[in-house]
């Protein structure tokens, strides 16, 4: 992306605490109207990055630009940002209206401006009929919308969200994921959404930036991050996969598993030297299961258990080496029976192969 095409440019930004790098040389361009998720495990540097974008903290090195303007030294209130944080709770003894108006009162906005903004944000978030209620008189989803409203009420040009749904139960969280994405598309401003939860990143964002140990580990469209993880870390962290160790054949086109009698073709475009040790990651829903009688190639497994997960079946498989592999399949009324022997395999396009890490 060119300098002019990027709305927000994070240029080689580092944040050190003494000798420790919380963030190490991160560069990232974010487009206007883009929903980007910053995904990484706890302690990877996500909040540090968000605080730098917000202006709540300064980078040790690197620059941050908004629309071509260097904002690295600009205080938060001059950056035109809105923020929604997990710990950013509503005031229980104030109405929705008062909660929403709070950020504007802090800025000493005139009454007419406050009225106009309140009307706007309540309209966008369908809160108009709830303005005189107290937080305890709202459902969890409505409370969440008010929290979002407080981030949006000053009409920011950018919204920063730090794990805002972390305390919600799964059902409400999934509802909110759809809503938040809809608001972002409707408003047409970038949302930068920090989360350790891959489901949230995948359901909402256009692109995902994966952060690991303070470094940008991967950046790409969500589908591509999921289907074609560029590193073993991303393959482990996004989606649920099983890992196998293998050796590349003499002609460099196939892999033989080390611990099982199964050989398969490398995905198109792979370039590994003969004899190299590789790690193969296969997403649990990408496995093929065939009955052993069909005589095709695969890892011989015994079905140890079948777990019903709503519309899916989770087959818990045990290989003859005693390893456990999970294969996920759409639910059917006649699941393969426990105790049955099956052949586990995959298509070259459905696996991700990396040079072995150790």
Point out which residues bind ligand ADP (CB under 6 A): 17, 22, 40, 42-48
Nearest distance, CB of residue 211 and ligand ADP, angstroms = 7
Instruction: Look at residue 44 and give the partner it binds from Mg ion, ligand ADP, none, a contact being a CB closer than 5 to 8 Å depending on partner kind.
Output: ligand ADP
From 7-15, 44-52, 167-175, 246-254, give the range in contact with Mg ion by CB under 5 A: 44-52
- Report the residue number, 22 or 165, with the smaller CB distance to ligand ADP: 22
From 42-50, 82-90, 231-239, 265-273, give the range in contact with Mg ion by CB under 5 A: 42-50
Nearest distance, CB of residue 121 and ligand ADP, angstroms = 27
Instruction: Look at residue 88 and give the partner it binds from Mg ion, ligand ADP, none, a contact being a CB closer than 5 to 8 Å depending on partner kind.
Output: none
- Report the residue number, 94 or 236, with the smaller CB distance to ligand ADP: 236
Contact call for residues 62 and 73 (beta carbons, < 8 A): no
**How many angstroms separate the CA atoms of 223 and 44, rounded?**
22
Measured from the Cβ of residue 18, the count of other Cβ atoms closer than 10 Å reads 5
- Report the residue number, 52 or 81, with the smaller CB distance to ligand ADP: 52
**How many angstroms separate the CA atoms of 264 and 293, rounded?**
20
Instruction: Look at residue 45 and give the partner it binds from Mg ion, ligand ADP, none, a contact being a CB closer than 5 to 8 Å depending on partner kind.
Output: ligand ADP
Beta bridge partners, 278, equal: 246, 355
Nearest distance, CB of residue 159 and ligand ADP, angstroms = 17
Q: Is 195 in the site for Mg ion (CB under 5 A)?
A: no
Nearest distance, CB of residue 62 and ligand ADP, angstroms = 15
User: For residues 138-167, which are near Mg ion according to CB under 5 A?
Assistant: none
Sorted by sequence, the CB contacts under 8 Å of residue 25 that are 6+ apart come out as: 12, 13, 14, 61, 62, 215
**How many angstroms separate the CA atoms of 124 and 62, rounded?**
36
Nearest distance, CB of residue 343 and ligand ADP, angstroms = 41
- Report the residue number, 14 or 47, with the smaller CB distance to Mg ion: 47
What SS3 class is residue 262?
A: coil
Q: Is 21 in the site for Mg ion (CB under 5 A)?
A: no
Beta bridge partners, 23, equal: 15
Contact call for residues 209 and 201 (beta carbons, < 8 A): no
Measured from the Cβ of residue 94, the count of other Cβ atoms closer than 10 Å reads 14
**How many angstroms separate the CA atoms of 106 and 114, rounded?**
11
Nearest distance, CB of residue 279 and ligand ADP, angstroms = 25
* Residues 135-144: b if buried by 16+ CB within 10 A, e if exposed: beebeeebbb
- Report the residue number, 20 or 250, with the smaller CB distance to ligand ADP: 20
Q: Is 47 in the site for Mg ion (CB under 5 A)?
A: yes
Nearest distance, CB of residue 329 and ligand ADP, angstroms = 34
Sorted by sequence, the CB contacts under 8 Å of residue 155 that are 6+ apart come out as: 117, 120
Instruction: Look at residue 286 and give the partner it binds from ligand ADP, Mg ion, none, a contact being a CB closer than 5 to 8 Å depending on partner kind.
Output: none
**How many angstroms separate the CA atoms of 304 and 321, rounded?**
14
Nearest distance, CB of residue 52 and ligand ADP, angstroms = 10
- Report the residue number, 84 or 122, with the smaller CB distance to ligand ADP: 84
Task: Look at residues 99, 107, 52, 47 and name the one whose alpha carbon lies nearest to residue 75.
Answer: 52
* Binding stretches for Mg ion (CB under 5 A): 47
């Amino acid at each position: 992306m060119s300098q002019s095409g990027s709305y927000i440019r994070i240029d080689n930004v580092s944040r050190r605490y003494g000798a420790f790098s919380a963030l190490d040389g991160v560069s990232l361009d974010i487009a206007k109207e883009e929903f980007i998720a910053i995904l990484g495990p706890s302690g990877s540097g996500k909040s540090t990055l968000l605080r730098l974008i917000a202006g709540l903290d300064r980078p040790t090195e690197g620059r941050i630009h908004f629309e071509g303007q260097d904002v690295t030294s600009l205080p938060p209130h001059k950056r035109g940002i809105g923020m929604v944080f997990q710990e950013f709770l509503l005031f229980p003894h104030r109405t929705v209206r008062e909660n929403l108006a709070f950020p504007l009162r802090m800025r000493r906005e005139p009454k007419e401006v406050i009225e106009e903004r309140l009307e706007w944000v309540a309209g966008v978030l369908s809160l108009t009929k709830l303005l005189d209620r107290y937080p305890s008189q709202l459902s969890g989803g409505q409370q969440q919308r008010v929290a979002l409203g407080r981030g949006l009420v000053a009409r920011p040009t950018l919204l920063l969200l730090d794990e805002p749904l972390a305390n919600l139960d799964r059902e409400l969280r999934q509802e909110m994921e759809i809503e938040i994405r809809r608001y972002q598309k409707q408003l047409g401003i970038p949302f930068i959404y920090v989360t350790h939860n891959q489901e949230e990143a995948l359901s909402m964002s256009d692109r995902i930036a994966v952060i690991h140990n303070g470094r940008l580990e991967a950046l790409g469209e969500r589908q591509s991050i999921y289907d074609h993880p560029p590193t073993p870390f991303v393959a482990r962290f996004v989606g649920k996969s099983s890992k196998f160790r293998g050796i590349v054949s003499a002609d460099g086109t196939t892999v033989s598993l080390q611990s099982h009698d199964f050989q398969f073709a490398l995905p198109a475009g792979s370039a590994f030297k003969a004899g190299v040790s590789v790690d193969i990651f296969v997403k649990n829903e990408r496995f093929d299961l065939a009955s052993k009688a069909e005589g095709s190639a695969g890892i011989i497994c015994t079905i140890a258990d079948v777990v019903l997960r709503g519309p899916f079946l989770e087959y818990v498989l045990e290989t003859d080496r005693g390893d456990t592999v999970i294969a996920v399949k759409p639910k059917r009324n006649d699941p393969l029976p426990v105790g049955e022997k099956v052949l586990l395999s995959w298509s070259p396009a459905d696996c991700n192969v990396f040079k072995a890490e150790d």
